[in-house]
Structure formats: C-alpha cells, structure tokens
Amino acid sequence: MKLLRFGSKGTERPGLLDADGRIRDLSGHAPDFAGENVSLAALDLLREIDTDALPIVENPGRIGCCLATVPNFYCIGLNYTLHAQESGMPPPSEPILFSKATSCLSGPFDPVVLPRGSEKSDWEVELGVVIGATAYEVSEDDALDYVAGYCTVNDVSERSFQLDRQGQWIKGKSAPGFGPVGPYLVTADEVPDPQNLRVSLDLNGVTVQNSNTSDMIFGVRQIISYLSRFMELRPGDIIATGTPSGVGMGMKPQRFLKPGDVMEVEVEGLGRQLLETVAAR
C-alpha cells in the first residue's frame, strides 16, 4: 500500500494511492496515520478493505507529511561511505545516532523556510524507515519484521547551527519545515530489499546526489537492531538512515541553500518531493 495524507495543514485526511494512481479517502477507516495507527496490526486491517469501494478524491489539494506525528524522529549520521569521505571523516565503527525535533515534520511539497540567522542550510536525501511494532533488543535477523514501511526523507540541516555551536546536532536539524517526509508511506511488503534503492536529489534541475542504499555502511537491519539495544522503538517512530555524498557542505567550494532554490528529492519507489526554499518572514 501507498498511504498518504491530503488537505490543508492541520486538517489532513488519510488516504491511499490505488493501482490506477488515484487517491482514495480512508478517513472512514483510519483516524490518521500516526503511532498505533501505523502498527503492523493496523496496516493488516487496512489491507482487508475493498479499495474499489473507497471514495475517489478528485481534488486532494495539498499533500501533507505521510505521518501526522511521530513519537521519535531518529537519524543516522555518516552512514554512506562516500559521504563520510566527502566530510573528511573516517567511516564510523558503529551507527552515529542523533534526533530531529518532531516539530520539524512537513509535507513533501511544502516550502522549506530558512531560519533567521541561517548561513549554511543544506540538503540530505534519505531513506526513511517507519517502525510498526515495539522493538527492544531485537536481532538483525528479525529486525525487518518490525518495519511498517518506508518513505522519502529530506534531512534538511543548518550546518552552522549543527557544527559551529556548542551542544548536540539537534539544533541544526530541527527548524520548522526541516523534516519533509513523504509523499507516501509505502508498506514494507512493497519494498523487498531496502538495500537496493536509488536515492537522488536535484538542486535547480541539476543532480547533486545520486547513489544507492547499497552504499550504506550500516543497513536497515543493523540500524534497527543497534538502536533497539539502547531504547524501545515504538510504532510510528521514524528513522532517517543517512545521506549519500553530494551535500552542499561537501562541495568545493561549499554551496548552501538560498531563497528560490528548488530541491527534487526521491527514493526509488517511495515518491518524489518538490521543495522550494524561502526566506523567513
């Protein structure tokens, strides 16, 4: 299933994309997509619905973030070999974990607002993993059994806030709109191998990131198992699994986002984002 949310911000309704590419209204069967409503059990119930009987949404308007809220927004840093090289850092010996504030969630076509004082806002296409069942101390062999689905994520990052200021990376990762997710939550059964997906980002029509999840240092199985050693993962948690090479910070000279820049962000099979950068008002 390809699940999505449509409507103006704050009044989105749940829907799904049918086999003909039409949006069907799921609001009679699901209150929204968040937490237990994207658990494996909840998704199994949605699979039993006769899709053809659902109302067609003729004019969906805005497509919102595919998740209404998330309990936690986890991220993995320096998780692609070439990205670690362009950052001038050795490949990590274990996953580098940080978080984004959940208030940064935004839709796949919403404007990305540069925060006041931003000097080095950057782009990062990533494969997002949505947890579908409580996971604690799970093995790598069993890890994918806890996945509800996958989505396209842009881990927008203000590098000056992230690296030049004291404290944790979360400061540079969490401005409102710095977490575009979607357009779809694609259920795990439609992604047979999360380690063989093209990930790409075009900036103003020029491809700057073009890689494959096979370049990950730590795969999805390893990441889930690793995180579950230290914390209980819960349904609706999202994990951004790292970005490939081609970020602005790694360019020579460095190139950062400015108002009017347009990002096209895609993970193979999970949908494409179109994001314009705007200045804070």
Is residue 76 domain-resident?
Answer: yes
Residue 154 lies in a domain: yes
Q: Which residue has the tokens 């209204």?
A: 25
* Domain-located, residue 54: no
Structural domain includes residue 13: no
Predicted TM-score of the model (pTM): 0.97
Which domain CATH number covers 248? 3.90.850.10
In a domain, 102, yes or no: yes
In-domain check, residue 173? yes
pLDDT band at 264 (very low <50, low <70, confident <90, very high): very high
Q: Is it the case that residue 87 has pLDDT exceeding 80?
A: no
Run of H or E residues at 180: strand 179-180
User: Which residues span the domain enclosing 112?
Assistant: 64-279
Q: Which long-range contacts (CB under 8 A, 24 or more apart) does 139-145 make?
A: 139/225, 140/221, 140/222, 140/225, 141/221, 143/220, 143/221, 143/222, 143/223, 143/224, 143/225, 143/228, 144/188, 144/194, 144/220, 144/221, 144/224
Count of structural domains, the chain = 1
pLDDT of residue 180: 98
Q: Please name the residue that has the structure tokens 């899709």.
A: 51
Query: Per-residue pLDDT tens for 146-196?
Result: 999 999 999 999 999 998 888 899 999 999 999 999 999 999 999 999 999
Q: What whole-number distance in Å separates Cα of residue 116 and Cα of residue 102?
A: 20
Cis ω for the linkage preceding 90 (within 30 of 0): no
Whole-angstrom Cα distance, residue 74 to residue 28?
31
Of the candidates 234, 277, 240, the one whose C-alpha atom is nearest the C-alpha of residue 257 is 277
Nearest Cα neighbor of 14 from 36, 154, 110, 2 is 2
- Taking residue 89's Cβ as centre, other Cβ atoms within 10 Å add up to 12
List pLDDT tens digits, range 197-209.
999 999 999 999 9
The verdict on residue 35 lying in a domain is no
Would you say residue 27 lies in a domain? no
